[in-house]
Structure 1
Amino acid sequence: MKKRAIVACFGAIILMATPLMAQPNKEISPQERCPVCGMFAAKYPNWITQVRLGNGTVKFFDGVKDMMAFTFNPASYGAPGQTAQEIWVKDYYTLDWFDGRSAFYVVGSDVSGPMGHEFIPFSSAAAAESFRKDHKGTRVVRFDEITEPLVQSMRHGHKMR
């Protein structure tokens, strides 16, 4: 009997915790605009990224570059006092959502995003390095190596596709 009670308690804890486990939004409204550039993010499904703020609001972006600009300065883009609680990106090859803080990003490749130069996200170092070699990337960086000056340098010469 004691064993059943323990198993039941453990099961209840797991069920209660499940909604708290972070998950990206799978659906995006066609009217959802990137708060940084104003583009309709849903038009670029392979490039969409998202940030869940401390207040629960989800912001969608048309690429990692604009998402990073937002995370460095949310107040400039309509979210004063907010910080990113969750950051979601899509692996360039698989298009699977994963935690953007764990990503490997290729910088300086010959592949352009919706607005030109872009950080290309991968869930594995091997995939990022392979892509870097195949697409003339200059380097692979981790999330915590991306600086505001690096983001701003990539925002020069935006060209909409």
Structure 2
Amino acid sequence: MNWKKMMLMLLTLVLCSGALSLVSAHEGHTAAPHEPDKDTKCAYCMMKVYLKEEEMGKFTAQMLTADGKTLFFDDAGCMLNYKRTLAAEPQMMWVRDYNTLAWVEYGKANVVSANIKTPMQYGFAYFQTAADADSFVKNNNKLEAMKTDWTFVDKVAQKRSEMKMSGDMNHGQMNHGPAAAHGIIVMINGQKQSFQQAPMNMHGKVTVSAKELVQKLGATATWNAKGDSVTVKLGSKSATLSLEQHGQIGLRTLCEAVGAHVRWDGKTKTIIINSK
């Protein structure tokens, strides 16, 4: 073997070794989450991002963009809406574990929908383990807690974004979410009803707890695994309906879907329902 061939072989070995080292170093590198500071603003809505030690800090989310920038969000819904605006997929995204406040990779976190206060009123909590999520649901029945998934979170976030773009959701609504439907009376078959979870005015539509309304109508319900829809049966009629946030549903939507008659008395602000 002449010296030229030997040199060529040595050069090839050196180049291959260098390439393998670079690949190994790249594969061994794990992006690490950071912490916001007191002046950090949400990259999507420009609202305050809460620190770990603050009450709302458990809902803070963060993203490492394709070009290496770390961005923070006051709520995971804002992060998903921001992601929709990007040309390239982020390297990583994280949310906080509701219990431990540790960062959990987006997609690996277990999602629970509940009637809890969050910065943008999305009403989602995230857990590192399925056991912790199950425990929260089991122990928080009054919060209408139910397990769901990231597809549903993204669906809610996208709907918020579309409403904002169309002008249906003003700045105040974005901050405070759906408003309580104060003063509204609900009558079912001649009986005045009270709800543990007060009726809400969700963008001009009165919504109530789906579970409570099903019980008060004497209907039965089957909840889908994702927690974003329910099949309700009353007598011979049944319907599968989509849920709003926090397990709420349009009162008229559900009632009329199963054959109940709904009437509004504007003078007394009473919703009159007859299911018999």
* Fold-level similarity (TM above 0.5): yes
Q: Which structure 2 residues correspond to residues 35-74 of structure 1 after superposition, within 5 A? A: 35-42=43-50, 44-71=56-83, 73-74=84-85
Q: Residue 115 of structure 2 contacts residue 145 of structure 2 at CA under 8 Å; is this kept in 1?
A: no
**Aligned twin of 1:131:** 136
Q: Per-residue CA shift, 1:84-117, capped at 9, x if unaligned?
A: 210111100011112122011111x121111223
Indicate how the Cα distance of structure 1 residues 86 and 110 shifts in structure 2: closer, same or farther if over 3 A, else same: same
Q: Which runs of 5+ in 2 are unaligned?
A: 1-20, 162-168, 178-276
User: How many angstroms does 1:35 deviate by?
Assistant: 1.9
Q: Which structure 2 residues correspond to residues 11-50 of structure 1 after superposition, within 5 A? A: 16=25, 20-25=29-34, 27-42=35-50, 44-50=56-62
Q: Per-residue CA shift, 1:27-74, capped at 9, x if unaligned?
A: 323222112221121454322110111100111001112112222x12
2:104 to 98, 101, 104: 98
Q: Residue 129 of structure 1 contacts residue 140 of structure 1 at CA under 8 Å; is this kept in 2?
A: yes
Higher RCO, 1 or 2 (CA under 8 Å, sep at least 6)? Answer: 1
Query: Which segments of structure 1 move beyond 6 Å, counting only runs of 4 or more?
Result: none
Q: Which runs of 5+ in 1 are unaligned?
A: 1-11, 75-79
Cα root mean square deviation, aligned: 2.9
Q: In structure 2, how many angstroms separate the alpha carbons of the residues matched to 1:152 and 1:56?
A: 25
Indicate how the Cα distance of structure 1 residues 133 and 69 shifts in structure 2: closer, same or farther if over 3 A, else same: farther
User: How many angstroms does 1:154 deviate by?
Assistant: 6.4
User: How many angstroms does 1:119 deviate by?
Assistant: 1.8
Q: How many residues align?
A: 140
1:88 aligns with 2:100: no
Indicate how the Cα distance of structure 1 residues 20 and 122 shifts in structure 2: closer, same or farther if over 3 A, else same: same
Indicate how the Cα distance of structure 1 residues 147 and 65 shifts in structure 2: closer, same or farther if over 3 A, else same: closer
**Aligned twin of 1:150:** 156
Q: What is the percentage of aligned positions where both structures have the same residue?
A: 24
* TM-score computed with the length of structure 2 as normaliser: 0.44
* TM-score computed with the length of structure 1 as normaliser: 0.71
- Bigger CA radius of gyration: 2
